[in-house]
Structure 1
């Protein structure tokens, strides 16, 4: 992270997209939950837009991020993407439910250590939102900026035709 250890109060959500293990700060996250069995389908949209669902009283889109970024499923995983990370967007973007392949754990910031990115492979679609690589709990993680991820023009301009 940097030479000063971050506060242990900030936690990072650990999740997997395809074969890539990712971490994002909890400050960008409203909630995490399972994807509802029934989402309101939006006719004529792209296949990565799974539909709309509610978090409390707020209606938001559910986006299968692996499908959106053309990231293949992990060969070891038999489960369908079933966990959603509800991301705080700004006024222009709004809040979005990002559906990931697996929600793994929450890790305190104090446990993260910077590591060399030279040998780390990341799918091209995640490259714009990756800030660095870190290690924690015996694994190398891509540190992902969720707001940058949901700010992609293709997500913001869903073509209904």
Structure 2
């Protein structure tokens, strides 16, 4: 009987699957909230995973004449053009100090993705319902429109920043002067 290379590979796969160890399915506890942690100014914030498309290094930026000061310009990521916004300047009126290794959060909004500068990236964060606290000072000023809840972990308060609300804010959508 002559076996083709495909037949040999199919047999290897069958044998391999017969001995595969079934791993338990990782489930998030129903009382867990998970998101991406980052810092803007002095505030530690988290945004839900479904609101962050990706986190990438700061792309090269082409300035846009006549744009708001918080719009740094247009960036290019893998051939896709998108606005790059200084989130700290939009919210606090103070420019983010850009540095080597700067990261941006890419969020989806109607009409395309938008990159937001952050001061520091902390990565994945998980909180239980028992860790929920009042948003307090995390929701002061312009943050009050976007931070409606908060969690406390290891003596640090984390405001839940709703990127979806930011994307629907008329001022944010009008980057032209």
Give TM-score, length-normalised by structure 2: 0.71
The number of aligned residues is 146
In structure 2, C-alpha distance between the alignment counterparts of 1:42 and 1:137, rounded to whole Å: 42
Between 1 and 2, higher relative CO (CA 8 Å, sep ≥ 6) is seen in 1
Q: 1:159 — aligned with what?
A: 176
Q: 1:113 — aligned with what?
A: 131
Task: After TM superposition, give the deviation of residue 56 of structure 1 in Å.
Answer: 2.5
**Among 33, 45, 49, the residue aligned to 2:71:** 49
Give yes or no for contact 2:85–2:114 (8 Å, CA) kept in 1: yes
Q: 1:63 — aligned with what?
A: 85
Provide the alpha-carbon RMSD of the alignment.
Answer: 2.5
The structure with the largest alpha-carbon Rg is 2
Give yes or no for contact 2:138–2:147 (8 Å, CA) kept in 1: no
In structure 2, C-alpha distance between the alignment counterparts of 1:104 and 1:73, rounded to whole Å: 20
Q: Deviations over 1:69-93 (max 9, x none)?
A: 225479xxxx53632100022x3x5
Matches within 5 A, 1:23-34: 23-34=46-57
Give yes or no for contact 1:19–1:73 (8 Å, CA) kept in 2: no
Q: 2:15 — aligned with what?
A: none
Task: After TM superposition, give the deviation of residue 131 of structure 1 in Å.
Answer: 1.9
In structure 2, C-alpha distance between the alignment counterparts of 1:148 and 1:59, rounded to whole Å: 22
Between Structure 1 and Structure 2, the one with more helix by share is 2
Gaps of 5+ in 2: 1-29
Give TM-score, length-normalised by structure 1: 0.77
